[in-house]
A and B are shown apart, each in its own frame.
Chain A
């Protein structure tokens, strides 16, 4: 892809803790095209948030981006930039929207001050002009009476309003890429839809690319063009959103889709994937999903699967790509067998 805005190659982000090295992101590569919206999906602990933080190099010690990782953005490798150059990218060219609008805003500054601050950091603007920009931006994100709201503190606004403020703060410098880490998770369902709608509307207006990080496939279905599924610090499947929903290949993706409640379908209980994501200090040998997988056979416990090409723009990290007949032998996952024996 030649028009890639962001190209991540072989990203490794490790945390050096007392219980060993946590390989939170373990060899992730993908790209985001100009104006494109990409979804990054997975359970908690799969490495998606750390991937997002790595892009802006916001991973704090004891976390570290390992040598050999490349994050090429607008033709420059962010991994090699010095602190000054990096700061010019943060908030101006790449902006982040965080999960919790309650805690992402500083409680002791007015929302106007917090938006204007971004303008003041990245451009030579007078205090007044920056404030004007902040008020304007609040209007753009659909906050009524923006001039008055700008003088209020975060605690005086509702959750949905706060998330709009966070979005205004992210977009005020017209960045090329917005990384939205679970932007709607903390909100009511009705507000969620409004915020997603707002993001799409703003994308049409400003033309930025969005990397949307979520655990909610429902959010992905409505908003993105391509989906990356992460598991165990790796990408396990990537496809166009329609392909993924119609013909998911990886058993983990299958599990995620099956776990999604659908309208008009009556079920006594929600389906879940048995077991939990293993700790990143001890990824299992072979396929990292093998003990939770209903198709796993010996090869899966021994041989780490590469990303197999399944179709056009569709890859999957599963040996079923080479031995498709195995899909017929569904069985109880290892993790269940182990727990029933115990």
Chain B
């Protein structure tokens, strides 16, 4: 197990290094540079060249990349020209917000997905099964940013029960009691997390339904019935426990999608997390902030899939020995 873990960590490092290199290169291939967008006024070419030289952007790409890697290894993620702060401190602010949104979305998507999938499998072939399958397929194919926009339109504009964006009420938040602040954040959290959750839940439910349908005809499910267990215990204890195993893998697999989804959904809901700052960083060619968010995002995905593997081993006794 320990050797397996070491190998997985090694693999993850290589993956993170690769995505770092690719994003480093891609953002520099885009037209413009961090100084194309300074303020509302144009700066002269001479000033701009001096600024480029000052930050080393005139050096050959490979030299820039090696310098960058050296800095990252020493814990410096660089400087954000658009935020006028260290990339490290920008990310330190944004990361917990994204983790909050993604955590809520992850929990909600698995709760909804597993619940709906299990219900469908138990009522296999019924009217309920077929109609929910249709709805799920719809959510499965809807682009995330579009669903986010529609959610905003429906529940913040037509039927204004939720705030239209941001993470807190910009004006009132600081004057609220502790409980009031928590409620404020939750109110802002519901629309973006539910948007992400619905998109994720659609895929999870399809997996869960298939997994449970595979498990339900198994002999040990019949054994559980023959023991005198009530149908609820048969399905939720004996069948679901086995049908959850493939779903755990899905936690790891769904993380990249969730990180990617958070990117657009955060932008639409102005949720000041990693996706939001990354989107803005790309628009303003904030080189270091782009690569910084990609590195952190890559590490999140790698950690997630590692966690899923460990969970899987914990849940399946047949794998624990290895």
Residues of A in contact with B (beta carbons under 8 Å apart): 56, 58, 83, 87-92, 95-96, 98, 100, 103-110, 117-118, 121-122, 153, 155, 166, 169
Contacts and interface: CB of A to CB of B under 8 A. Distances in A.
Contacts of A108: 241-242, 245, 315-317
The B contact surface, by secondary structure, is helix
Given A103-B219, A104-B220, A117 B315 contact: no
Nearest to B316: A108
A164 to B, nearest CB: 15
A104 B226 CA distance: 11
B222 interface: yes
B223 interface: yes
Classify chain B: how many residues form its interface, as a range.
Answer: 20 to 34
13 contacts: A58-B226, A83-B230, A89-B228, A96-B226, A104-B222, A105-B223, A106-B223, A106-B241, A107-B317, A108-B242, A118-B228, A121-B229, A155-B318
Nearest to A100: B219
Interface in B218-238: 218-220, 222-231, 238
Contact of A107 (B228, B229, B318): B318
Given A103-B218, A106-B238, A108-B242, A117 B316 contact: no
Contacts of A104: 219-220, 222-223
Contacts of A153: 317-318
A105 B226 CA distance: 12
B228 A88 contact: yes
B317 A98 contact: no
Given A90-B225, A91-B226, A118-B227, A98 B219 contact: yes
B224 A106 contact: yes
A131 to B, nearest CB: 16
Contacts of A83: 230-231
The A contact surface, by secondary structure, is mixed
A200 B241 CA distance: 35
A177 to B, nearest CB: 12
Nearest to B230: A87
B222 to A, nearest CB: 6
Contacts of B225: 58, 90
A58 B226 CA distance: 7
Nearest to A56: B226
A83 B233 CA distance: 14
Given A105-B223, A155-B317, 7 more contacts: A98-B219, A98-B222, A98-B223, A98-B226, A104-B222, A108-B241, A169-B227
Contact of A58 (B222, B242, B316, B317): B222
Closest 10 CB pairs of A and B: A91-B228, A90-B228, A103-B219, A91-B227, A106-B220, A153-B317, A96-B226, A87-B228, A104-B219, A104-B223
Contacts of A91: 226-229
B227 A105 contact: no
B239 to A, nearest CB: 9
Choose among B222, B226, B229, B318 the residue with the greatest number of A CB atoms under 10 Å from its CB: B226
Contacts of A95: 226
Interface in B45-69: none
Contacts of A106: 220, 223-224, 238, 241-242
A105 B228 CA distance: 15
B125 to A, nearest CB: 10
A122 B228 contact: yes
Contacts of A90: 225-228
Contacts of A87: 228-230
Nearest to A107: B318
Interface string B295-322: 0000000000000000000011110000
A90 B224 CA distance: 10
Contacts of A121: 227-229
Nearest to B227: A91
Interface in B242-262: 242, 245
B203 to A, nearest CB: 24
A87 B227 CA distance: 8
A251 B59 CA distance: 96
B228 A92 contact: yes
A90 B225 CA distance: 8
Contacts of B318: 107, 153, 155
Contacts of B219: 98, 100, 103-104
Nearest to A86: B228
B234 to A, nearest CB: 10
A106 B242 CA distance: 8
Nearest to A96: B226
Nearest to B225: A58
A89 B228 CA distance: 7
B118 to A, nearest CB: 16
A118 B223 CA distance: 11
A122 B241 CA distance: 22
A242 to B, nearest CB: 32
B220 A105 contact: yes
A52 B231 CA distance: 20
Nearest to B218: A103
